[in-house]
């Protein structure tokens, strides 16, 4: 006999089962409501794209260099499972040319071949929002405020906002020169990994958390000191806008993000309730050259993405946002062999109640046990006598009280009790 097959979800992926899946959907609903209230519409884009769409994330970034799930399809097209959504959104913008400003939100799975650990997965899910077609600093503020409002709506109290500006083409080259000379002069003090990063992308050395690198990074030149007048004024306007809305932030001049397309405003949200290695619960910024690089007209853009799995971990750590219980309002206990349960569950669900039942013509006792286990507030018990009298016995599973209710009034009666 061959061994029976046994499979596990692939490493770095997770099954989301009820009731957690209900909490998950409730979280997406909170986000959708906040985003749609200020004019953002949902975009659903493909989970795989031509691999070229992701080139501007940066050949030397971890995401593109080491983590992309790439493959060739049967017609030898070179494709990749999307490792992030901003590039896909810019590709969609370049393709469809919608009216601007284009304000959109999205949700969906992303794929990165990372080393899995708590809060770091190979398939994870983001919620995000993007605004394409405006350089207005108020768009930056609107985007950041949307993310902030979302964390607040979940009840999270320990999420910090770090803010930086990475400048633009008028100031970045001078800064990169200064940074590169400084890091080259201190190369011997850097970790081996940072020496390799230095050759490929000096800016990303600032992102190192390795002990050896910290003193060198602490004294490195800062982008904010190199901002020319326009990017400096833009950054100031973003800071002023956040202050006007009462949004706390910390300027983090060494904040660089793990993707290369950023210009000007960049930001990250960190959850203090999580371990520092996985405490980034969201991040984003401006990417004013990305649409053009993907074949569209020069179009500024700003947005963010937030990791759902990490946000839920932060909610667990802070003891907030339990999500809906997923429990039925009423459990039908049927002593007629199942016929009445079929009718009653259909009728009650149509009347807007959450309803469940047992199968397999179980004994009254077994059905009552199932009713209690389901978490339902009420049991609707129906046997031949109730059918003859056109009534139903309604038992309150918390108090044990039982009442006889006319079948015609049942839905109304149950609704009154559960709301």
* Pairwise CA distance, residues 214 & 207, whole Å: 10
When asked if residue 138 is in the footprint of ligand HAM (CB under 6 A), the reply is: no
Is the CB of 260 or the CB of 356 nearer to ligand HAM?
Answer: 260
Taking CB under 6 A as the binding criterion, the range among 126-134, 161-169, 240-248, 359-367 that sits at the site for ligand HAM is 126-134
List 14, 120, 254, 343, residue binding ligand HAM (CB under 6 A)? 120
- Over the window 301 to 330, marking each residue x when it contacts ligand HAM by CB under 6 A and - when it does not, the resulting string is --xxxxx-xx--------------------
Can you read off the two tokens belonging to residue 337?
């062999």
Q: Which of 281, 333, 370, 405 binds ligand HAM (CB under 6 A)?
A: 281
Q: How many CA atoms lie within 13 A of 85 on its CB side?
A: 28
Q: Is 61 in the site for ligand HAM (CB under 6 A)?
A: no
**Please, are residues 126 and 108 in contact by the beta-carbon 8 Å criterion?**
yes
Nearer to ligand HAM, 159 or 344 (CB): 159
Inter-residue long-range contacts of 280-284, CB under 8 Å, 24+ positions, other chains counted: 280/307, 280/310, 281/151, 281/159, 281/306, 281/307, 281/310, 281/311, 281/314, 282/147, 282/306, 282/307, 282/311, 283/257, 284/128, 284/143, 284/147
Q: Give min distance, CB of 414 to ligand HAM, in A.
A: 41
Length of the chain: 419
Among residues 255 and 330, whose Cβ is nearest to ligand HAM?
255
160 binds ligand HAM, rule: CB under 6 A? no
Decide: is 300 part of the binding site for ligand HAM (CB under 6 A).
Answer: no
Backbone angles phi, psi at 51, to 5 degrees: -60, -25
121 binds ligand HAM (CB under 6 A): yes
Query: Based on CB atoms, which residue is closest to ligand HAM, 128 or 300?
Result: 128
Contacts of 381 (CB under 8 A, 6+ apart): 333, 335, 364, 392, 393, 394, 395
Place of tokens 């602490």: 218
Distance CA 17, CA 326 (A): 12
Min. distance of Cβ 152 from ligand HAM in angstroms? 17
Q: What residue is closest to ligand HAM based on CB?
A: 307
- DSSP symbols for 344-397: HHHHHHHTT--EEE--TT--HHHHHHHHHHHT-SEEEEE-HHHHHHTEEEEEET
* Residue 280 within binding range of ligand HAM, rule CB under 6 A: yes
Binding window for ligand HAM (CB under 6 A); candidates: 120-128, 177-185, 240-248, 341-349:
120-128
Q: Does 241 bind ligand HAM (CB under 6 A)?
A: no
Buried b (16+ CB within 10 A) or exposed e, 127-159: bbbbbbbbbbbebbbbbbbbbbbbbeebebeeb
Shortest separation between residue 151's beta carbon and ligand HAM, angstroms: 12
- Which one of 79-87, 180-188, 349-357, 382-390 is the stretch in contact with ligand HAM (CB under 6 A)? 79-87
Task: Considering the complex, state which of residue 162 and residue 213 has its C-beta at the smaller distance from ligand HAM.
Answer: 162
Q: Which stretch binds ligand HAM (CB under 6 A): 119-127, 152-160, 318-326, 331-339?
A: 119-127
- Under the criterion CB under 6 A, does residue 258 sit at the interface with ligand HAM? yes
168 by DSSP, 3-state: which?
coil
- Note the residues at the interface with ligand HAM (CB under 6 A): 84-86, 112, 114, 119-121, 124, 126, 128, 130, 258-259, 280-285, 287, 303-307, 309-310
């Amino acid at each position: 006999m061959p061994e029976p097959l046994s499979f596990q979800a692939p490493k770095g992926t997770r099954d989301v089962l009820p009731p957690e899946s209900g909490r998950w959907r409730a979280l997406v609903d909170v986000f959708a409501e906040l985003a749609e209230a200020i004019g953002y519409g949902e975009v659903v884009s493909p989970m795989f794209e031509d691999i070229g769409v992701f080139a501007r994330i940066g050949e030397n970034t971890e995401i593109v260099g080491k983590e992309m799930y790439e493959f060739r399809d049967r017609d030898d097209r070179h494709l990749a499972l999307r490792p992030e959504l901003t590039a896909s959104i810019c590709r969609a913008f370049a393709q469809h040319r919608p009216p601007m400003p284009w304000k959109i939100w999205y949700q969906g799975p992303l794929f990165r071949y990372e080393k899995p650990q708590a809060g770091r997965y190979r398939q994870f899910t983001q919620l995000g929002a993007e605004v394409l077609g405006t350089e207005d600093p108020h768009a930056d503020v609107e985007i950041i405020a949307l993310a902030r409002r979302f964390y607040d709506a979940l009840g999270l109290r320990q999420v910090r906002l770090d803010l930086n500006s990475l400048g633009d083409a008028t100031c970045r080259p001078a800064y990169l020169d200064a940074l590169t000379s400084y890091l080259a002069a201190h190369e011997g003090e850097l970790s081996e990994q940072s020496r390799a990063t230095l050759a490929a992308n000096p800016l990303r050395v600032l992102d190192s958390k390795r002990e050896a690198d910290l003193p060198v990074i602490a004294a490195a030149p800062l982008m904010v000191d190199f901002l020319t007048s326009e990017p400096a004024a833009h950054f100031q306007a973003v800071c002023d806008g956040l202050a006007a809305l009462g949004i706390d932030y910390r300027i983090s001049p060494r904040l660089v993000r793990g993707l290369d397309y950023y210009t000007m405003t960049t930001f990250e949200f960190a959850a203090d309730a999580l371990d520092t290695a996985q405490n980034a619960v969201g991040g984003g910024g401006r990417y004013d050259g990305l649409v053009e690089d993907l074949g569209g007209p020069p179009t500024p853009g700003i947005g963010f993405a937030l990791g759902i799995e990490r946000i839920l971990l932060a909610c667990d750590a802070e003891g907030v946002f339990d999500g809906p219980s997923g429990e039925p309002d009423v459990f039908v206990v049927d002593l007629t062999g199942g016929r009445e349960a079929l009718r009653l569950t259909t009728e009650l669900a149509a009347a807007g109640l959450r309803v469940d039942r047992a199968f397999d013509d179980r004994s009254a006792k077994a059905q009552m046990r199932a009713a209690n286990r389901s978490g339902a507030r009420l049991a609707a018990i129906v046997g031949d006598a109730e059918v003859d009298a056109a009534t139903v016995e309604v038992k309150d599973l918390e108090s044990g009280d039982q009442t006889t209710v006319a079948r015609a009034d049942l839905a109304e009666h149950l609704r009154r009790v559960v709301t």
